[in-house]
Structure 1
Amino acid sequence: MRWIPAVAVVIALFHPAVVQAGVKEEKKVNDAAAVMSEIMAIPEKGIPPELLRNAEGIAIIPGLLKAGFVIGGRYGTGVVAVRRSDGRWSNPTFVYLAGGSFGLQIGAQSTDIVLVFKTSRSIDAMKRGKFTLGADASVAAGPVGRHAEAATDIMLKAEIYSYSRSRGLFAGVALEGAALQIDDNANIDFYNKPAVSVDDIFAGKVKAPAAAGNLRKVLEKYTVTRKGRR
């Protein structure tokens, strides 16, 4: 009855728990790509190109939700991609964002959040563990529009710039006190690897599903890398 172990393997492969592993995460990556595309589709109302050109990382949290009965509480999951040494964008690591003061701009049930990291220091701090905006790195509501950088010096002052989109309105938003943390379980499911490090993900050492490539293409479409590379 040597065939029994083989049959058991086949059954395990098609068990719903196995088949569904990573599906939720893949949808999250696709949602993040869609959010970025929609935000940048109208340059006059998007993130300034100069800010994106100098970004070291971008976090996208699609559909941040109110956290139950907590007054002002919010919780959401999303992804972070970082700029690699060759100027291109990395595969995403999964994160979750919770708590903090989200300002008056966020009043709807569901809100998309985008964070633009200006420094590698803030990226390194995030990778080390729980990362609090405003405490571990300075954060400010980001400027909006292609000409925003010409009218303000805001980009010289903060390490992270934050944005929200709710009911079609896209604007900079203060996220003081919000905690951003790596979602190790989501990384395991998406990359289908029992032990995967954030450094290996960012370095491209882990085989990634097609959704990761789609997100990278979107980021590269709307950002011009330094030294003239796209």
Structure 2
Amino acid sequence: MVDGVERRLAEASGLETDRPLLGRTSTAERVADILRDRIAEGYFPPGSRLSEESIGGALGVSRNTLREAFRLLTHERLLVHELNRGVFVRMVTVEDLIDIYRVRGLVECATVRGLGEPPYRVDAIEAAVAAGETAARERSWQDLATANIRFHQAIVSLAGSPRTDELMRGVLAELRLVFHVMADPRRFHAPYLTRNRQILESLKAGDPGEAERLLAAYLEDSRLQLSAAYAQKMSSD
């Protein structure tokens, strides 16, 4: 019998509405895509158990397909399998967080450094900045967090590399596990809105050197602030 809490988690996540996305190709990769998005959006918070029966029923996929999707997400460090207990959304450690920022610095700064001659296609970056500013005005802090993540995804997309895009999608999804544990997303996103705008304006002006300098400082300040707060949070729980 499916645990009531697990069933409610699956229902609240809106998985049944995602069933049409599977179409005729109910592959483990597509199931993993859907679950990754739901985890990143906070529908399945860190530490929650993922029920095969409730999720498989909501999506209309076989147990083997779902288990393969779980395996893929475990490889991406979003899930963890605990013997005789099941599959859980992973709790990120402070060491993980520091490593996430190490990867972000390498990938995001290298992307900007490797840009060719301007002009650059910054439409997605500009849209993310505008969305963040709108969310801040409306005091919609979760939307602000999402806009900030999209800003960094759009930065990396300038490289025109599907593999780098996929890498960053996983890295940023893992980072969102950290934010789901923190109580006040405004504190960690609102102060960076102005800096997002500055990076955007540097790219629009055709100055990737200045954009990289601003981005590197941004990531270092963010790492220091978030890792200190997260370490305090984890030690107090």
What range describes the TM-score normalised by the shorter chain of this pair? under 0.3
Structure ranking higher on relative contact order (CA contacts 8 Å, 6+ apart):
1
TM-score, normalised via structure 2 length: 0.23
Which one has a larger percent strand, Structure 1 or Structure 2? 1
Which one has a larger percent helix, Structure 1 or Structure 2? 2
TM-score, normalised via structure 1 length: 0.24
